[in-house]
Amino acid sequence: MNREPRSVAHRLLDEQILDSEGRRCGRVDDIELRGNPPRITALLVGEGLYPRRLPVRLRGLARRLSGPERWGANALRIPWEEVDEIGASVILRGKAEELGLGGGDNPERWLVRRLPWN
């Protein structure tokens, strides 16, 4: 068996993601492996993925708190081709907005505009 993608996946899981401008825009919450031998095809990011990272008995409760996985909203698929560089963080080729990442830190959101000293 080809063990390499597995060890790369292990190294990447939970890593910080930066966009092309150095903005922190999430962590690698899960990894999509496909094919035989398996290859990494995408990084999966978003709070909708948190329940599946927990022990089985806690998942039900976590899902009730965070809501179900909604792809494109709280669970995003970042195709492997978008990854530019892997160093101390995973660096993407594009900007966070283009990939739908970092929406919670979007300065146009309601709460953000109302923070003091903004």
Binding site residues, other proteins, CB under 8 A: 13-17, 23-27, 29, 45, 47, 50, 53-55, 58, 88-89, 102, 104-105, 107, 109, 111-112, 115-118
CA distance 42 to 82: 9
**How many residues are recorded in the chain?**
118
CA distance 75 to 43: 10
77 neighbors 92 (Cβ within 8 angstroms): no
Q: Which is nearer to other proteins, 40 or 46 (CB)?
A: 46
Residue in this structure with the two tokens 């390499």, named with its chain if needed: 4
Rounded to a whole number of angstroms, the minimum distance from the CB of residue 36 to other proteins is 26
Rounded to a whole number of angstroms, the minimum distance from the CB of residue 31 to other proteins is 13
Q: Which is nearer to other proteins, 81 or 108 (CB)?
A: 108
